[in-house]
Structures are given as C-alpha cells and as structure tokens.
Amino acid sequence: AQSVTQPDIHITVSEGASLELRCNYSYGATPYLFWYVQSPGQGLQLLLKYFSGDTLVQGIKGFEAEFKRSQSSFNLRKPSVHWSDAAEYFCAVGASNTGTASKLTFGTGTRLQVTL
C-alpha cells in the first residue's frame, strides 16, 4: 500500500525567506505525486504534480518541487515566501499502476506560518 510522510507538522518562516517542505512517500512503482494547499475554511487547491519526465516541476504561486527517486522524496520549495502563503500544505500520492491518480493517499499536512 502507498503511504506519505510529512515529518514537519508546523513550520515558521519570515516573509522573504526561502521555504522547503518535506515529503517522503512509499510506493512500489513510479508514483504520481501532488502538492495541495489549503487556506482556512477552504478546500484544497493543486499547486503542482509529477507523473513522469523532468524531475523538477513548476507549479502555481512560484512553487516548485523535485522528485528524487533514490530518496523517495518530493519536497516543495519556494525561493521567497509571501505572507499570503500561510496555509496548510499536503503532499499526496496516487497509484500509477491502475492508470489513474484519482485515488489519493495524503500526508498529515504541514502548517506554514509566515512572520512579517
């Protein structure tokens, strides 16, 4: 069975500082990987996804993530954080062997706080 680990429950960064959120997955084949963001009282919004090809993927809002097969990781990065980035971030894995990424397994989330 697939699984996702987000080791950091809560991270605080200063506005303008760089950000890296960690995500490790467990899956037997090449996974489909996603990062979602959730603002308070809102649903989840897709930031970016990886399923094949270039291991460095670009997403919305200036985010990027790098797939590292050897480390089973898919860390999310942003060079300069804005106060509006404060939210909860979820990493998720979808099963590639069924031909669909629709059944997702989520990590427990990382809450990002941005100080001014």
Partner 1 sequence: NAGVTQTPKFHILKTGQSMTLQCAQDMNHGYMSWYRQDPGMGLRLIYYSAAAGTTDKEVPNGYNVSRLNTEDFPLRLVSAAPSQTSVYLCASSYQDRGPNQPQHFGDGTRLSIL
Q: How many CB atoms lie within 10 A of CB 17?
A: 13
CB of 75 to partner 1, least distance (A): 17
Q: Regarding beta strands 32-38 and 87-94, do their DSSP bridges make them parallel or antiparallel, or are they unpaired?
A: antiparallel
Whichever of 19 and 44 has its CB closer to partner 1, that residue is: 44
Residue 104 binds partner 1 (CB under 8 A): yes
Q: How many CB atoms lie within 10 A of CB 71?
A: 10
H helices of 3-105, where?
A: none
CB of 80 to partner 1, least distance (A): 25
Interface residue with partner 1 among 1, 29, 41, 54 (CB under 8 A) is 41
Whichever of 15 and 44 has its CB closer to partner 1, that residue is: 44
